[in-house]
Amino acid sequence: MKYEPKKFETLLVSVEGAIATITLNRPDKLNALNYRMLNDLRDAFIALDHDYDIHCAIMTGAGDKAFAAGADISEMADKSVANAHRFAGLGHVVGGRIEGAHFPVIAAVNGFALGGGCEIALACDFIYASDKAKFGQPEVNLGVIPGFGGTQRLARRIGIGRARELCYTGDMVSAEEALRIGLVNAVVPHADLLAKANETAKKIALKGPLAIAQAKRVLLRGADVPLPVASELEMQGFASLFGSADQKEGMAAFVGKRAAVFTGK
């Protein structure tokens, strides 16, 4: 089902060819994630995930300063225990939607990615950072802990020791430090960030989309199960692709010394 362009209160969503771009759009509040924005993200990802012509997505922040400076503190301040649990649950639903999408999502972090902002970036497949980006889990400064998956996804991405350090100190790290600790895949000059993300998205979009979706699923689900189970997931995923026209085309193109043209079938 083709993605129907929609107006979101807190997001800009555009699709160009096979690439969707989702821009968090509350720049005057440094794109802080409020209830509306989390709902919009969930709805946008449900709609985009139905469009199998989308082969890659980029998530970034509006304005020059922030990807997202965290969950909206003023909105959170008076929450009850039950409502805080629901709010965290919604953050986890969004993370799950990003991870569950059939296409990879590249986070293009253009400034502050703090708290929930860092957590949403971590739910993306990988992160490119502008040289102005800053990352951190500063929740302890507010008397709380990460609630949108930070303690878990951060530890899985950079190792538990470094995740503990960031979660206990609340310190911000520069893009260069984020690169050194494996939080981001590349740091690029601020002005080149979207071009870099688009270049990689285009490269991914030219591959067989069934293979990319399968790789995404196996890399994600395999990370949380014992190696023999993960290996079985990989074998099943590998074998299932031999039922696709894309596998026949990819291998025939190699043998015929021509470029493959994948159709997602």
Residues near ligand COA (CB under 6 A): 29-30, 32, 69-74, 112, 114-116, 138-139, 141-142
Which member of 139, 177, 234, 249 is catalytic? 139
Comparison of 92 and 202: residue with beta carbon closer to ligand COA: 92
Nearer to ligand COA, 115 or 250 (CB): 115
Q: DSSP alpha helices (H): ranges in the chain?
A: 35-49, 73-76, 81-100, 116-123, 150-158, 160-169, 175-180, 193-205, 209-222, 227-240, 245-255
- Please say which residue, 33 or 57, places its beta carbon nearer to ligand COA: 33
Give whichever of 91 and 250 is closer to ligand COA, judged by the CB atom.
91
How far, in Å, are 81, 119, 244 from residue 154 at the CA level?
A: 24, 8, 35
Write phi, then psi, for 28 (nearest 5 degrees).
-70, -15
In the bound complex, what is the minimum distance in angstroms from residue 7's beta carbon to ligand COA?
23
Q: Closest separation between CB of residue 220 and ligand COA, Å? A: 25
Residue 74 structure tokens: 């003023």
Which one is catalytic: 9, 99, 119, 199? 119
139 included as an active-site residue: yes
Shortest separation between residue 167's beta carbon and ligand COA, angstroms: 12
Cβ-based burial of 160 (10 A; exposed 0-12, middle 13-18, buried ≥19): exposed
Query: What letter represents residue 252's amino acid?
Result: A
Look-up: residue for tokens 């970034």? 60
- Quick check: is 199 catalytic? no
- The catalytic residue positions are 119, 139
